Amino acid sequence: MNPSLKVTLVERSNKLLSKVKVSGGGRCNVTHACFDKVEMSKRYPRGANFVKKLFHSFFTNDTIAWFKERGVALKTEADGRMFPISDSSQTIIDCLLREADKYHVQIRMHCDIKSVQNSEEGFRLLTANNEELTASYVCIATGGFPKASMFDWLMQTGHSFSTPVPSLFTFNLPRHPITQLMGVSVPNALVKIAGSKLQQQGPVLITHWGLSGPGVLKLSAYAARELAERNWEFEAIINWLPDYNEQTLKEQFLHIRNENGSSLLYHKNPFGLPQRLWEFFCKNVIFPKPVAAQTCLPNLKMSW
Ligand SMILES: Cc1cc2nc3c(=O)[nH]c(=O)nc-3n(C[C@H](O)[C@H](O)[C@H](O)COP(=O)(O)OP(=O)(O)OC[C@H]3O[C@@H](n4cnc5c(N)ncnc54)[C@H](O)[C@@H]3O)c2cc1C
């Protein structure tokens, strides 16, 4: 924004943009085809008010235009996610590095900043090698840290931090029988945290350790603080058929009984659920087996 400034980018590791490289499964989900600032801001757990303000300066259209002007076209997938047409996060990395190069941004690798101090001449930054750097302005973009203590050096600058907690995690169900259905997914399930109003809807995938998929990951992000407070021991209630209510479900069962009373429900799978999941439910309704709560993080008991 100000080409007369001399910019130095400091990176402690030996790689630049390594997280961008793995983002979006290696494709980099650059933005989302949402052009309503309020709607978009709601998708940021705990950050809605903050991002809403930022969106007035730079929003989805600006992101698309910014990359287009630099030769990177984005495409929109059916669910609204936007990726580079190359389907490679390297395209984004190359674009950002070209931009840095264009403005002669000096890049210093293996440079670990240990403290930032404000002095009369500006900021003094001390590296792990006891080298001192000075700057008129400092932009700190260290990403997140898993432990609160790792923010100490930044707290010394007078900033405050919220205690970090895990987010975007899958749910562990150690030894739960449903894990035998690993690989089975339901395109639209409603996942709730019992005893709270927290719920999210979306695809749910059964894995060999428990539950995953966007519906679960989204819920873990929105519920991150509450679940940390519960030490990740919680009960999730999954509605595998959120498009039905109790009344319409009963009507559907009644309809099957009237039309097809002589055949086994087990073979009918009337709701279009994956066959193995439907069979699992039928078996467990007939022979319910209690599942003991485990103590693995993050853990849950599941009921349906
Ligand atoms: C698996 C995965 C998939 C993702 N997919 C997507 C996606 O598709 N779309 C999306 O928008 N987001 C995605 N994200 C999130 C996205 O990658 C991050 O939000 C983004 O990288 C954050 O950027 P950042 O610059 O704030 O932090 P980071 O990318 O973490 O970069 C911070 C850098 O600062 C360096 N650093 C830290 N401390 C110091 C220090 N003291 N001195 C010097 N250097 C330091 C670190 O080494 C690091 O290189 C994904 C994340 C993961 C892990």
- pLDDT tens digits, 215-224: 999 999 999 9
Residue nearest atom 37 in ligand 1 by C-alpha distance: 142
Q: Domains (ranges, CATH) in the chain?
A: 8-155 (3.50.50.60), 171-303 (no CATH)
Q: Give 19 Cα–ligand 1 centroid separation in angstroms.
A: 5
Task: Among 13-17, 83-87, 290-294, name the one with the lowest average pLDDT.
Answer: 290-294
Those residues with Cβ within 8 angstroms of residue 47's Cβ, 6 or more apart along the chain or in another chain: 41
Residue nearest atom 23 in ligand 1 by C-alpha distance: 143
- pLDDT tens digits, 103-144: 999 999 999 999 999 888 899 999 999 999 999 999 999 998
CA nearest 46: which of 208, 283, 261, 225? Answer: 225
pLDDT, average across residues 199-203: 96
Q: Give 22 Cα–ligand 1 centroid separation in angstroms.
A: 10
pTM of the model: 0.84
The residue to mutate among 13, 23, 67, 147, having the most atoms of ligand 1 within 8 angstroms of its beta carbon, is: 23
**What is the pLDDT confidence band of residue 292, given thresholds at 50, 70 and 90?**
very low
Q: Give 143 Cα–ligand 1 centroid separation in angstroms.
A: 5
Q: Give 95 Cα–ligand 1 centroid separation in angstroms.
A: 17
Checking if the pLDDT of 298 tops 80, the result is no
Query: What are the φ/ψ torsions at residue 69 (nearest 5 degrees)?
Result: -60, -20
Bigger pLDDT: 224 vs 303 = 224
Bigger pLDDT: 99 vs 302 = 99
> What pLDDT was estimated at residue 123?
94
| Residue that the structure tokens 């022979």 belong to | 287
> What pLDDT was estimated at residue 289?
52
> What pLDDT was estimated at residue 121?
83
